[in-house]
Structure formats: structure tokens, C-alpha cells
Amino acid sequence: MPKSTDDRLTIQRLGGLGGFSLPGSHIKSGGELALSTLSPADVKALDALFSGSAKSAAAVKPDGFTYRLTRTVGGAPKTIDVPEGQVPMAVRNAVKDTLA
Amino acid sequence: MSCTCFIVPADVLRKLAQDKKLSARIRDGAENTAKVSTEVRKLRTQAAALTSAANPMGIAPMALAKSPAITVYDCKQQQNLPGSPIAKPANSSDATAKRTYKETKAVATFYKNVFKRNSIDNAGMTMMSSIHYGRNYDNAMWNGSQMLYGDGDNQLFVDFTLGNDVIGHELTHGVTQHSLQLGYSGDAGGLNESLSDCFGSMFRQWQAKQSVTSADWLIGADIIGPAAKKKGYTCLRDMANPAAPQPTNYSQLNPGTDPHYASGPPNLAFCAACKAVGGRSWEKVGQIWYRALTGFGPSPNMSMKDFAKRTRQLAAQMYNATVAAAVDKAWKQVGL
């Protein structure tokens, strides 16, 4: 489990063919993890995504997932939306799909 | 047009392929992926150029090309595309591979026989699918060059290739990319999703030889897993009754609405028009929607209102006042 607020990454997975986590959707998809459990490479990749310096990738593809990532830096939460292809595998693997 | 980039650039793949610190398996995988990625890029560039050249002239290049090749790759529960090629998917002992080949071929036949279209780009483009994508992966998608299918988690979803409408849906995203070239947000995104649902459902009805009254108009009914069924869920979307989870009227859509949510009103309009006209969905209303999709060149930001207007005009031009009135009434029903 995450150790502190600043260490927490909250993940929400949206869209896909099934329209996960959308208004009215019965399927909720998400999870959370402690940033301290990620590899240095994954943390670096996340830092780049949150800073906006990550190499621009293609837009979300038809039926592709979007990941809504939230982390708290200095007490202020920051949220970004990222196409699945840019999300580190360890973060993708922290997601679970559940029925509402 | 959906612009798709591969996640790992070719030069990185080639460096990985030559990195002696990596295992032979990883190096081989990187080399194979680099080779395939390069060829897919060439194919995509050629296809886009052909579409762009042919569209303004109203030329259908299908007569110049032979029937599409159908290829299937096995991702083996990884998320690296395209995976390992399956030599003879039609005769594979893997039921998913065999089914993917068979249903993809059937979609090609559907488009050829019903709409006189030769494959995704109307020029015989290879129809490429990757199966067993990811571990317990609850999704299927079109990535700009190919289809990919997850096995599902066997709780909420089962193997996504079990849905012939799902396969028709994904391939239609490719058709849209090579014709109307709709974007994937706002009205255009909702239309993009709706067109995939319409043609996915039509394909399912065509295979089952169903009339508009005997069809169930459900999307994804065959991929719902046991845990979801136990809770009473029967499908991803119901085109005849989109309410919960989808809106039923255009006025309920807001900017930024996800395409899978925004597709509710145009899905309902298509279904209502088909039911009003009667017969089989692909015979008249399907032909109108196909012409609206493919007959006018790219329009990436097309609004639902403009698409509705185009189908109204086509209904009158292609058929008669009765069909035109049915299409008009269906759009009005959803606020368009």
C-alpha cells in the first residue's frame, strides 16, 4: 500500500471498446500504487509525462484506453490523461476492472 | 485521420536487436518487430496516398487490386506488436487464431459482396490481426494499421474474438480511417464509434441472415464474461435502447464526451431508420450509411448534424420518399 500522499499514484482507466469508467458505465477500471515501488526508469517516465516533456505520441486510437493519472506533488494533486501506449507497464498492471 | 506511431522507434529496436547484453529471445523479437514495423509503415503510407489520390476523383481502386491477404499474429500475452506470425491461421490448432482468420475473412466478404469494397482501404490492404494481446486484457482495438484482441479476464469478459460484431467493429475503424477519416473526439469521435457499431452489427446480422426485426441490435453480447452475466449484463451497448449507459438524444452530449458515450444517439438513429424501412439492415439504410461514410472524401471534424443531413439527402437520391422520411424521422428522434 502507498506510504504517503506524495508517494501515491492513482490510476483510472477510461474508454476502450467497453467504454470503461465513463458516465453511466457499469465497469470501473483503476487502481493505485506507491511510486516508491516502481523502477527508476518507470519513475523517470512518469516524471516526463507529468512535466509534459515526454515525447509526443499519437492520440488515443479507436477503442484504445486512456489512463488518467493523479499524483500529489508538494501537497497539490496533479492529473494528466495519457494514451495507454505511453504508460509504463508496471502502472498498467496495477489496474483492476470491476463491476459497479 | 488516425495518426498512429509505433511505441518503440525502429532505430531503438535495431539497437536492442544488436545489444549482446540482452537475451537471444529479446534480440530476435526486437529485430522481427523492427522489420515488420518498417513494412507496416510503408503499407500505411501507400494506403493513405492511394486513398487521398482516389477520393477526389471518385475512383474506387478496388478493381485494380486482388483480394486482401489475412494475417494473424500471436502476442502470447505480451503487449508487443505484432507478435509472432501464425503460418496457417485457417488451420491453426489455436481456436482464437482460427476464428480470427475466419471472421476477418467473412468481414472482407461482407464488405465486398454488400458494399463492393475491397478490404479496409478499398485497395486490397492486408488485414492484419494480433491475438492473445496482453494478459487478461479486456479490450480490442484498431491501432491505425491493424486489429488487436485481448483474451479478456474470463470474469467480466471472455476472448474478444468471440464477438463477430467486435471484429466487424474494429475493421470498420480501419474503413473509416481510409474514407471519412473521422477524428476521435467530439461529434466526429461519436460518429466514428457509431459507424463501427453500425457496420459491426450489420455484419453480425448479415452472417445470421437476420431481418431488422429478428436482430437483437446488441454490441458485444458474445464477449460478456460469467461474472458480468451473473449480475445481469448482456452486452456492451444496445443500439435499439442505448439508455444506461449511453445517452439517447444529441442534447445530452457535451464537448469532451467520450466517443463510446457519444455514439448513443447516432446508433439509435441508425437502428430506428432500419426498423422503419424494414427488411434487412444492409439492403437500404446500410447502403445509405456506407455511401455517407465513403462517398465524399475525408471530413475529419464532421458534425453529427452534417452526417445526418448527408444521409437524408442520400436516402432521397438513392431510394424514395418513404425511405427518406424514415431516415429523417430517425434523426429527429435523437434530436438531430
Tens digit of each residue's pLDDT (9 = 90 or more) over B285-310: 999 999 999 999 999 999 999 999 99
Task: Looking at chain B, list the stretches that DSSP marks H as alpha helix, in order from N- to C-terminal side.
Answer: 10-17, 24-54, 95-115, 164-177, 186-207, 226-230, 259-262, 264-277, 285-294, 304-318, 321-333
Find, in chain B, the residue whose alpha carbon is nearest to that of A98.
B156
Residues of A with CB below 8 A from B176's CB? 62
Do B43 and B125 lie in one domain? The reply is: yes
Closest approach of B1 to chain A, Cα-based (Å): 10
| C-alpha span between B168 and B202 (Å, rounded) | 9
Question: In terms of domains, do B200 and B299 share one?
Answer: yes
Among B103, B169, B170, B178, which one carries the catalytic annotation?
Answer: B170
| pLDDT tens, residue by residue, B141-191 | 999 999 999 999 999 999 999 999 999 999 999 999 999 999 999 999 999
Contacts of A19 in chain B (CB under 8 A): 236-237, 245, 258, 260-261
Q: Total domain count for chain B?
A: 2
The SS3 assignment for B114 reads: helix
**Cα–Cα dist A12/A28, whole Å:** 8
Higher pLDDT, A100 or B202: B202
Question: Do residues B246 and B155 share a domain?
Answer: no
Residues B110 and B231 in one domain: no
Check if the beta carbon of residue A42 is closer than 8 Å to that of residue A91.
Answer: yes
| Residue whose C-alpha cell is 437520391 | B317
Please answer whether residues B299 and B195 qualify as being in contact, where contact means their C-beta atoms are separated by less than 8 angstroms. no
Residues B329 and B201 both lie in one domain: yes
* Structural domain that includes position B38: 27-162
Is residue B66 one of the residues assigned to a domain?
Answer: yes
Q: For this structure, is B260 an active site residue?
A: yes
Query: Are residues B232 and B111 part of one domain?
Result: no
pLDDT in tens, B306-332: 999 999 999 999 999 999 999 999 999
Q: What is the pTM of this model?
A: 0.84
Asked if B149 is an interface residue toward chain A (Cβ–Cβ < 8 A), one would say no
User: In this model, does residue B7 exceed pLDDT 90?
Assistant: no
B143 to A89: CB separation less than 8 angstroms, yes or no: no
CATH number at residue B221: 1.10.390.10
Distance CA(B285)–CA(B278), nearest Å, equals 9
Give this complex's ipTM.
Answer: 0.88
- B298-321 burial string, b = 16+ CB within 10 Å, else e? bbeebbbebbbebbbebbbeebee
- Which H or E run includes B72? strand B70-74
Query: Is B143 an 8 Å CB contact of chain A?
Result: yes
**Beta strand extents in A16-93 (DSSP E only):** 27-34, 65-73, 76-83
Same domain (yes/no): B273, B313: yes
CATH code of residue B148: 3.10.170.10
Domain co-membership, B124 together with B245 = no
Residue B39 and residue B158 in one domain: yes
From chain A, the residues in CB contact with B236 under 8 A are 17-19
The answer to whether B169 contacts chain A (CB < 8 Å) is yes
